[in-house]
Protein backbone atom coordinates (compact mmCIF):
# COMPACT_ATOMS: atom_id res chain seq x y z
CA UNK A 1 0.00 0.00 0.00
CA UNK A 2 2.92 2.43 -0.25
CA UNK A 3 1.37 4.29 -3.21
CA UNK A 4 -1.87 5.12 -1.43
CA UNK A 5 -2.37 8.38 0.46
CA UNK A 6 -2.38 8.06 4.24
CA UNK A 7 -6.10 8.94 4.38
CA UNK A 8 -6.97 5.98 2.17
CA UNK A 9 -4.82 3.57 4.17
CA UNK A 10 -6.54 4.80 7.35
CA UNK A 11 -9.95 4.24 5.77
CA UNK A 12 -9.00 0.75 4.58
CA UNK A 13 -7.92 -0.38 8.06
CA UNK A 14 -10.96 1.19 9.66
CA UNK A 15 -13.35 -0.35 7.13
CA UNK A 16 -11.73 -3.77 7.50
CA UNK A 17 -12.20 -3.49 11.24
CA UNK A 18 -15.90 -2.70 10.79
CA UNK A 19 -16.34 -5.45 8.21
CA UNK A 20 -15.09 -8.20 10.51
CA UNK A 21 -16.13 -6.81 13.91
CA UNK A 22 -19.16 -9.03 14.50
CA UNK A 23 -18.43 -12.08 12.38
CA UNK A 24 -14.71 -12.46 13.07
CA UNK A 25 -13.79 -10.18 15.98
CA UNK A 26 -10.25 -11.52 16.31
CA UNK A 27 -9.56 -10.63 12.70
CA UNK A 28 -11.11 -7.19 13.29
CA UNK A 29 -8.69 -6.67 16.18
CA UNK A 30 -5.78 -7.60 13.92
CA UNK A 31 -6.76 -4.71 11.63
CA UNK A 32 -7.00 -2.40 14.64
CA UNK A 33 -3.40 -3.30 15.54
CA UNK A 34 -2.34 -2.77 11.93
CA UNK A 35 -4.00 0.64 12.14
CA UNK A 36 -2.21 1.45 15.39
CA UNK A 37 1.16 0.51 13.90
CA UNK A 38 0.39 2.55 10.79
CA UNK A 39 -0.68 5.61 12.81
CA UNK A 40 2.48 5.43 14.91
CA UNK A 41 4.64 5.01 11.83
CA UNK A 42 3.28 8.17 10.20
CA UNK A 43 2.99 10.03 13.54
CA UNK A 44 -0.73 10.74 13.17
CA UNK A 45 -2.28 11.23 16.61
CA UNK A 46 -5.85 11.41 15.30
CA UNK A 47 -5.58 8.06 13.52
CA UNK A 48 -3.96 6.62 16.61
CA UNK A 49 -6.81 7.92 18.77
CA UNK A 50 -9.36 6.39 16.43
CA UNK A 51 -7.71 2.96 16.47
CA UNK A 52 -7.24 3.04 20.25
CA UNK A 53 -10.98 3.74 20.48
CA UNK A 54 -11.64 0.71 18.28
CA UNK A 55 -9.45 -1.41 20.59
CA UNK A 56 -11.48 -0.22 23.58
CA UNK A 57 -14.72 -0.94 21.75
CA UNK A 58 -13.46 -4.44 20.89
CA UNK A 59 -12.80 -5.08 24.58
CA UNK A 60 -16.27 -3.76 25.42
CA UNK A 61 -17.72 -6.29 22.97
CA UNK A 62 -15.84 -8.95 24.97
CA UNK A 63 -16.79 -7.43 28.35
CA UNK A 64 -13.19 -6.80 29.41
CA UNK A 65 -13.88 -3.69 31.45
CA UNK A 66 -10.37 -2.82 32.63
CA UNK A 67 -9.00 -3.05 29.10
CA UNK A 68 -11.79 -0.84 27.77
CA UNK A 69 -10.75 2.08 29.95
CA UNK A 70 -7.07 1.52 29.25
CA UNK A 71 -7.63 1.99 25.52
CA UNK A 72 -10.23 4.70 26.14
CA UNK A 73 -7.65 6.71 28.06
CA UNK A 74 -4.99 6.16 25.37
CA UNK A 75 -7.51 7.35 22.79
CA UNK A 76 -8.37 10.48 24.76
CA UNK A 77 -4.66 11.34 25.19
CA UNK A 78 -3.97 10.88 21.46
CA UNK A 79 -7.13 12.84 20.55
CA UNK A 80 -6.03 15.73 22.76
CA UNK A 81 -2.59 15.76 21.08
CA UNK A 82 -4.25 15.75 17.67
CA UNK A 83 -6.51 18.65 18.66
CA UNK A 84 -3.54 20.72 19.79
CA UNK A 85 -1.86 20.12 16.43
CA UNK A 86 -5.06 20.86 14.54
CA UNK A 87 -7.40 18.30 13.03
CA UNK A 88 -8.51 18.78 9.41
CA UNK A 89 -11.81 16.94 9.59
CA UNK A 90 -13.77 18.34 12.53
CA UNK A 91 -16.69 15.98 11.87
CA UNK A 92 -14.45 12.94 12.43
CA UNK A 93 -13.16 14.56 15.61
CA UNK A 94 -16.72 15.10 16.88
CA UNK A 95 -17.59 11.51 15.99
CA UNK A 96 -14.60 10.26 17.97
CA UNK A 97 -15.56 12.43 20.95
CA UNK A 98 -19.11 11.06 20.85
CA UNK A 99 -17.84 7.48 20.56
CA UNK A 100 -15.57 7.98 23.56
CA UNK A 101 -18.40 9.47 25.64
CA UNK A 102 -20.63 6.51 24.83
CA UNK A 103 -17.88 4.02 25.61
CA UNK A 104 -17.15 5.65 28.96
CA UNK A 105 -20.83 5.72 29.85
CA UNK A 106 -21.27 2.09 28.82
CA UNK A 107 -18.48 1.08 31.18
CA UNK A 108 -20.09 3.01 34.02
CA UNK A 109 -23.38 1.27 33.28
CA UNK A 110 -21.63 -2.12 33.40
CA UNK A 111 -20.36 -1.21 36.86
CA UNK A 112 -23.91 -0.05 37.77
CA UNK A 113 -22.65 3.50 38.21
CA UNK A 114 -25.63 5.03 36.50
CA UNK A 115 -25.09 8.44 38.05
CA UNK A 116 -21.58 8.62 36.56
CA UNK A 117 -22.84 7.43 33.18
CA UNK A 118 -25.37 10.26 33.14
CA UNK A 119 -22.83 12.78 34.44
CA UNK A 120 -20.52 12.05 31.51
CA UNK A 121 -23.24 13.10 29.07
CA UNK A 122 -24.39 16.12 31.08
CA UNK A 123 -20.84 17.49 31.35
CA UNK A 124 -20.45 17.53 27.59
Task: Give the pLDDT of the chain (124 residues) as one tens digit per residue.
Answer: 568 999 999 999 999 999 999 999 999 999 999 999 999 999 999 999 999 999 999 999 999 988 999 999 999 999 999 999 988 788 989 999 999 999 999 998 989 999 988 887 777 6
CA distance 18 to 32: 10
Q: Which residues contact 110 (CB under 8 A, 6 or more apart)?
A: 63, 65
Q: Which residues contact 68 (CB under 8 A, 6 or more apart)?
A: 56, 57, 59, 60, 103, 107
The DSSP call for residue 88 is: S
Q: What residue segments make up the domains of the chain, in order of their start?
A: 6-123
What pLDDT is stored for residue 1 in this prediction? Answer: 55
What pLDDT is stored for residue 48 in this prediction? Answer: 98
Q: pLDDT tens-digit profile of 2-22? A: 689 999 999 999 999 999 999
11-49 burial, b at 16+ Cβ within 10 Å, e below that, comes to: ebbbebbeebbeeeeeebbebbebbbebbeeeebbbbbb
- What's this model's pTM, rounded to 2 decimal places? 0.91
- Write the class of the CATH domain 6-123: mainly alpha
Amino acid sequence: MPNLPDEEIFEIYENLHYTFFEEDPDRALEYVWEGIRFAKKIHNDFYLARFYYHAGDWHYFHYQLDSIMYYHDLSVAAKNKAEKKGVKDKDLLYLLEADLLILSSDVNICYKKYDLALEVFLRH
